[in-house]
């Protein structure tokens, strides 16, 4: 699962959001690192809908603008949880490795002399 | 929608035309709303990069297929088949822009001027690269005059590149005690004019009155349009456009078929169209092959052999209309629903 996809699913985890809502949520979640462009967003929403990971929740017309809200499906929640667990494992492994990193001239902590 | 939205909205609607129509119908309004929301939230109008990205996404969407095996197989087949037809069309268009060979009447007039003998026969033909050609053959009784040949070519605007006079003979009563060689004078020549090449020769029998041969004249002209620099590139470009069109057409039809509840008929029609187009497309690829491998410096522009020669023309003549009709049937039946169409929601 690519990072934008992961972030879109994460954005929809709590509550249904419309297109611009997803863009804002992804920007917040990534602390500004990922700013989705509309073309990318709707390509991803279309693909995720086809995969059954999200679905249309409702449509609202505000000031003549049609806003379609998307929500995470059960299948999407499972896929997101699996990916989150996978990323957590990878992050834990990375941190563990970094703790054991040998820096020349600096003795490793906890190593018996 | 406020009046202030009208300008950007028009601009965004134009950009959304990059997306296929069906996709625009499903997602156009919400993408538009998102773009306007973004503009309102301080992102401003789309930058050139964002605009290009949106257009690129729309074009990419036109090539996107449903995640099924059948549409992918159909797209590959359609791309290959239409690639063949595209190549032949590109080649045809390139030749339309090239100079044309003289008409039958013009060739006849030239042959008459060369030999002083009227009544030649003309046979139009195509070179190995599908370029136009015309063959002229004349049999009659005349007189030998090399200068007349040269003057007639120059008067008709041809630039002579080769001109030789030869002597020969015609054997009569061959193998018998009265066997005899009657002298023969020939002129062999080549010329060019405005991107058209001509090769030809004339033979005149000098004597042999007792055999009815004296003055017997034969002339042959072979006129072809030279291959221009655009023939091969346009053939390749046509094939590429055909490939892309085949893929895009399948993508559009696949989504249209999927949106309907009656999918059997359009699917069967699509399979029929692909099957019927196979033989004509194969012949088209043979043509393209001839165009691509042809040595333009070869003075003999005839095709020695093509695999397409093995295929009866009737298969092409039957296959093409069936493929076109079946494709029309796909368009007509795709997207149909079993029940009455739902009433569209009012905007």
User: Cβ of B45 under 8 Å from any chain A Cβ?
Assistant: no
Residues in B touching A49 (Cβ below 8 Å): none
Last residue of a domain, one of B168, B191, B225: B225
B66: nearest CA partner in chain A: A50
Q: What is the CATH number of the domain that holds B160?
A: 3.40.1000
Domain count, chain A: 1
Q: What is the mean pLDDT of residues A33-59?
A: 91
Question: Which residues does A contribute to its contact with B (CB < 8 Å)?
Answer: 18-20, 23-24, 37-43, 46, 50-51, 63-68
**B9, B43, B64 — which closes off a domain?**
B64
Distance CA(B257)–CA(B97), nearest Å, equals 40
Does residue B346 fall inside a structural domain? no
Q: Is the dihedral of CA B303, B306, B309, B314 positive or negative?
A: negative
Residue A51 maps to a domain? yes
Contacts 24+ apart (CB under 8 A), B136-140: B136/B107, B136/B108, B136/B110, B136/B111, B136/B200, B136/B219, B136/B220, B136/B221, B136/B222, B136/B223, B137/B218, B137/B219, B137/B220, B138/B111, B138/B217, B138/B218, B138/B219, B138/B220, B139/B216, B139/B217, B139/B218, B140/B115, B140/B216, B140/B217
- Looking up residue A22, the CATH number of its domain turns out to be 1.10.10.10
Instruction: Tell me, yes or no, whether A101 lies in a domain.
Output: no
Mean pLDDT of the A65-74 span: 92
State the Rg of chain B over Cα: 31
Two tokens at B186? 């020939």
* Interchain pair A19, B34: CB under 8 A: yes
**What pLDDT sits at residue B338?**
62
Yes or no, beta carbons of B57 and A20 under 8 Å apart: no
- CA closest to A44 among chain B residues: B57
Alpha carbons B74 and A94: distance in angstroms, whole number: 45
Residues of chain A with Cβ-Cβ distance to B60 below 8 Å are 43
Same domain, B167 and B307: no
The more confident residue out of B67 and A24 is A24
In a domain, A106, yes or no: no
pLDDT higher than threshold 60 for residue A112: no
Nearest to B38 among A20, A46, A50 (CB): A20
Examine the domain organization and report whether B297 and B154 are in the same domain: no
Is B48 touching A (CB cutoff 8 A)? no
Question: What's the structural domain count of chain B?
Answer: 3
Whether A7 is in a domain gets the answer yes
Quote the domain boundaries for residue A75: 3-89
A interface test, pick of B1, B24, B34 with most A CB neighbours within 10 Å:
B34
Tokens of B267: 């699917």
Same domain, B176 and B210: yes
**Length of chain A, please?**
113
**Is B58 an 8 Å CB contact of chain A?**
yes
Query: Which of the residues in chain B have pLDDT under 50?
Result: 341-347
Q: Which residues of B touch A54 (CB under 8 A)?
A: none
HEC readout, B43-60: HCCCCHHHHHHHHHHHHH
Which value, to the nearest 10 degrees, does the dihedral of the CA atoms of residues A97, A103, A106, A107 take?
A: 40
Between strands B180-193 and B196-205, the pairing is antiparallel
B127 with B213, same domain? yes
- Provide the pLDDT for residue B5: 58
Chosen domain end from B225, B247, B270: B225
pLDDT at B342 (0 to 100): 46
Claim to verify: residue B121 and residue B93 sit in the same structural domain: no
Q: What is the pLDDT of residues B119-145, one digit of tens each?
A: 899 999 888 888 899 999 999 999 999
pLDDT score at B157: 95
Instruction: Kindly state whether residues B16 and B75 are assigned to the same domain.
Output: no
The reported pLDDT for the residue numbered B260 is 73
Q: Tell me: do B42 and B116 sit in the same domain.
A: no
* H or E segment to which residue A8 belongs: helix A3-14
At residue B248, φ and ψ (nearest 5 deg) are: -65, -40
Indicate the SS3 state at residue A86.
helix
Instruction: Test A19 with B36 for CB contact under 8 angstroms.
Output: no
Tell me, yes or no, whether B211 and B245 share the same domain.
no
Q: Is B57 on the interface with A (CB under 8 A)?
A: yes
Number of H helices, E strands in chain A: 4, 2
- Is B344 part of a structural domain of the chain? no
**Which residues does chain A have within 8 Å of residue B23's beta carbon, measured at their own beta carbons?**
46
- Average pLDDT, stretch A87-112? 79
Please give the pLDDT value at position B156.
94
In this prediction, residue A110 carries a pLDDT of 55
Q: Does any domain span residue B347? A: no
Q: What is the pLDDT, as a whole number, of residue B88?
A: 93
CB within 8 Å: A39 and B57? yes
Q: Is residue B163 part of a domain?
A: yes
pLDDT (0 to 100) of residue B346? 40
The rounded distance, in Å, linking the Cα atoms of B31 and B336 is 26
Domain range for residue B27?
A: 1-64
Q: Where are the alpha helices (DSSP H) in chain B?
A: 3-16, 21-38, 48-63, 69-96, 104-115, 146-155, 231-259, 264-293, 313-333
Count CB atoms within 10 A of the CB of residue B32: 23
Instruction: Say yes or no: B3 contacts chain A, CB-CB below 8 A.
Output: no
CA B48, CA B312: separation in Å to the nearest integer? Answer: 54
Residue B192 lies in a domain: yes
CB-based contact B29 A65, cutoff 8 Å = yes
Look at strands B216-225 and B196-205 and give their pairing. Answer: antiparallel
């Amino acid at each position: 699962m690519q990072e934008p996809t992961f972030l879109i699913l994460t954005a929809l985890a709590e509550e249904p959001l419309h297109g611009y809502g997803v863009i804002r949520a992804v920007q917040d979640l990534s602390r500004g690192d990922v700013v989705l462009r509309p073309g990318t967003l709707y390509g991803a929403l279309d693909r995720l809908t086809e995969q059954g990971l999200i679905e249309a929740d409702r449509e609202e017309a505000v000031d003549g603008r049609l806003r379609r809200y998307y929500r995470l499906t059960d299948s999407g929640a499972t896929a997101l949880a699996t990916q989150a667990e996978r990323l957590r494992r990878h992050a834990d492994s990375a941190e563990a490795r970094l703790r054991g990193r040998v820096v020349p001239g600096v003795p490793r902590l906890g190593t018996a002399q | 929608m406020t009046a202030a939205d009208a300008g950007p909205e028009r601009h965004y609607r134009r950009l959304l035309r990059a997306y296929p129509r069906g996709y625009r119908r499903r997602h156009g309004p919400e993408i538009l709303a998102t773009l306007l929301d973004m503009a309102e939230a301080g992102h401003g109008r789309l930058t050139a990069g964002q605009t290009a990205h949106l257009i690129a996404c729309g074009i990419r969407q036109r090539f996107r297929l449903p995640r099924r095996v059948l549409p992918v197989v159909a797209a590959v087949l359609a791309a290959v088949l239409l690639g063949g037809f595209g190549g032949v069309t590109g080649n045809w268009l390139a030749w339309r822009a090239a100079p044309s060979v003289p008409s039958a009447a013009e060739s006849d007039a030239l042959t008459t001027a060369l030999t002083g003998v009227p009544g030649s026969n003309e046979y139009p033909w195509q070179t190995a690269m599908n370029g136009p050609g015309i063959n002229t053959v004349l049999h009659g009784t005349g007189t030998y005059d090399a200068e007349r040949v040269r003057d007639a070519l120059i008067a008709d605007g041809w630039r002579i590149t080769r001109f030789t006079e030869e002597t020969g003979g015609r054997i009569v009563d061959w193998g018998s005690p009265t066997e005899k060689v009657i002298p023969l004078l020939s002129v062999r020549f080549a010329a060019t004019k405005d991107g058209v090449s001509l090769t030809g020769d004339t033979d005149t029998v000098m004597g042999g009155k007792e055999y009815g041969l004296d003055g017997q004249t034969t002339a042959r002209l072979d006129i072809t349009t030279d291959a221009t620099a655009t023939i091969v590139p346009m053939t390749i470009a046509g094939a590429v456009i055909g490939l892309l069109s085949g893929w895009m057409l399948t993508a559009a039809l696949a989504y249209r078929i999927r949106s309907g509840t009656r999918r059997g008929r359009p699917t069967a029609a699509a399979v029929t169209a692909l099957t019927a187009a196979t033989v004509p497309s194969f012949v088209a690829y043979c043509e393209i092959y001839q165009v691509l491998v042809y040595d333009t410096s070869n003075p003999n522009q005839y095709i020695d052999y093509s695999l397409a020669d093995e295929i009866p023309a009737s298969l092409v003549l039957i296959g093409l209309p069936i493929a076109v009709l079946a494709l029309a049937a796909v368009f007509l039946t795709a997207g149909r629903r079993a029940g009455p169409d739902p009433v569209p929601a009012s905007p």
